[in-house]
Amino acid sequence: MASNVKHFYMYVLRCGDGSFYGGYTTNLKHRIEQHQSGRGAKYTKSHQPVELIYNEEFNTKSEALKAEYAFKHQSRSAKEQYLKKHNVSLN
């Protein structure tokens, strides 16, 4: 029996050039597969390979989108600090 509970995720990928990509999805596994196959986003298509390094689940779409927006609009060093604060190893 399928659950009707929606899941809302903000996620961060590390791209092949070391850059970070932040995104939003309701199906994390499928979205990561899309990115890895070059069908996820224009940015990640040209920055392969990509690796999921962080994800966070939210109760609402709005919360997840706000988290994605906040992550994307930070400097590189602020993104690194955010990830370190959430126990992501950047090595």
Residue 23: which of 56, 60, 59, 47 has the closest Cα? 56
CA geometry: angle at 68 spanning 64 and 71, to 5°? Answer: 140
pLDDT (tens digit, 9 = 90+) per residue, 4-39?
778 999 999 999 999 999 999 999 999 999 999 999
Peptide bond into 49 cis (omega under 30): yes
- Give me the pLDDT at residue 3, please: 64
Placement of tokens 């196959």 in the chain:
37
pLDDT (tens digit, 9 = 90+) per residue, 76-91?
999 999 999 999 999 7
Say what the pTM is. Answer: 0.91
pLDDT (tens digit, 9 = 90+) per residue, 36-48?
999 989 999 999 9
**Torsion, Cα of 37, 39, 44, 49 (10° steps):** 10
Measured CA to CA, the distance from residue 53 to residue 50 in angstroms comes to 9
Q: What would the two tokens of residue 6 be?
A: 């929606």
Phi, psi at 56, each rounded to 5°: -140, 135
Position 2 confidence tier, pLDDT thresholds 50, 70, 90: low
Complete domains list, the chain, with CATH: 8-85 (3.40.1440.10)
